[in-house]
Amino acid sequence: MLKFSVLMSIYYKEKPEYFDLCLKSILIDQTILPNEIVLVKDGTLTEELEIVLDKYQQKFPKIFNIVALEQNQGLGNALNLGLKKCKYNIVMRMDTDDVSVPDRFEKQIKYMEEHKDVSVVGGFLDEFIEDPEKIERTKTMPCSYENVKKYAKFRNPINHMTVCFRKKDVLGVGNYQPLFYLEDHYLWARVLVNNKKIENIPYVLVHARIGNGFEKRRGDKRYIKGWKKLQKYLYEHNFINSIQRIRNLIGMYTFVYVPSDIRIFFYNKILRKKCK
């Protein structure tokens, strides 16, 4: 079986109880364990977060590889540095407030073993507010490479917190780079532009935490600058045409400037499948 690293980044605003549940899901509840967890401390952590980390380091002393940054540098820079520290070519991403389903790693490792031409594989996710057992909605994704490419012309084609990728391929297109709330989308754009395969598998792999103003943050006007850069990149590399570029820019401006209630409605009724 392929050996693999889990890449994570944490900063002081994370809640210790969420972090605890996250680590439990990838170290206690998984059907196969990671060979390494590269955890980037993006600045000084709270004592409570350090206590949670220490608990799991004592249980799994050989797994953790801690990268400590003196000051917060943001997700793009943190993941850029962390990926370079990963020992293994297969890397799983995990957010420190989410929960991986028990067979997530097993499913993705098997897929990467059987599809050696695939550089990146993700999956579906369930979204919850407080209790991972009480799912609010499901976020699906296109699965085949061809459908991923079509989807990527107007939206992010992969759920970042579900992703598994080959380190050499991600480094080959420039690694993670800072771009406000779009670090992963910009990376997948570069993967696809360089003709590397991204696919998704039709399984829920992660329970992702929402709430705390999730939809409202999507109205942050700083999105616009990053979205313009992303669309410019896709256009200049002939991934989208001029009409698609204009459509995408209009869509982003509309999404950012509409009232929060309308944005929430859009998420619930159009962008997600509501769970019954």
161-191 pLDDT per residue, tens: 999 999 999 999 999 999 988 999 999 999 9
Local structure of residue 61 (DSSP, 8 states): T
Q: Mean pLDDT of all residues in the chain? A: 91
Token digits for 161?
């917190």
Q: For residues 204, 205, 207 and 212, what is the CA-based torsion angle, rounded to 10 degrees?
A: -100
State residue 235's pLDDT score: 97
Residue 257 and residue 219: Cα distance in Å, rounded?
Answer: 7
State residue 272's pLDDT score: 53
> What are the residues whose beta carbons fall under 8 Å from the beta carbon of 195, sequence distance 6 or more?
none
Q: What is the pLDDT of residues 224-275, one digit of tens each?
A: 889 999 999 999 999 999 999 999 999 888 877 776 666 666 555 555 554 3
Work out the pLDDT band at 217, boundaries 50, 70, 90: low
- For residue 95, what are the CA distances in angstroms to 6, 108, 144, 208, 264? 10, 17, 25, 9, 22
Quote the percentage of the chain above a pLDDT of 90. Answer: 80
Q: What is the pLDDT of residues 85-99, one digit of tens each?
A: 999 999 999 999 999
Sign of the four-CA dihedral 15, 17, 20, 24:
negative
Q: Which of 111, 137, 271 is nearest to 200 (CA)?
A: 111
> What are the residues whose beta carbons fall under 8 Å from the beta carbon of 61, sequence distance 6 or more?
none
Give me the mean pLDDT over the 5-12 stretch.
97
The structure's pTM equals 0.91
8 A C-beta contact, residue 159 and residue 81: no
Position 134 pLDDT exceeds 50: yes
Position 210 pLDDT exceeds 50: yes
- For residue 172, what are the CA distances in angstroms to 83, 93, 102, 176, 239? 12, 18, 31, 11, 19
* Angle, in degrees to the nearest 10, between helices 222-236 and 242-257: 170
In the block, which residue shows the tokens 């929402």? 210
| Amino acid letter, residue 208 | A
From the options 3.40.449.10, 3.90.550.10, 1.10.3720.10, 3.90.1150.10, give the CATH code of 4-274. Answer: 3.90.550.10
| Amino acid letter, residue 261 | D
Q: Which of 150, 97, 94, 96 is nearest to 123 (CA)?
A: 94
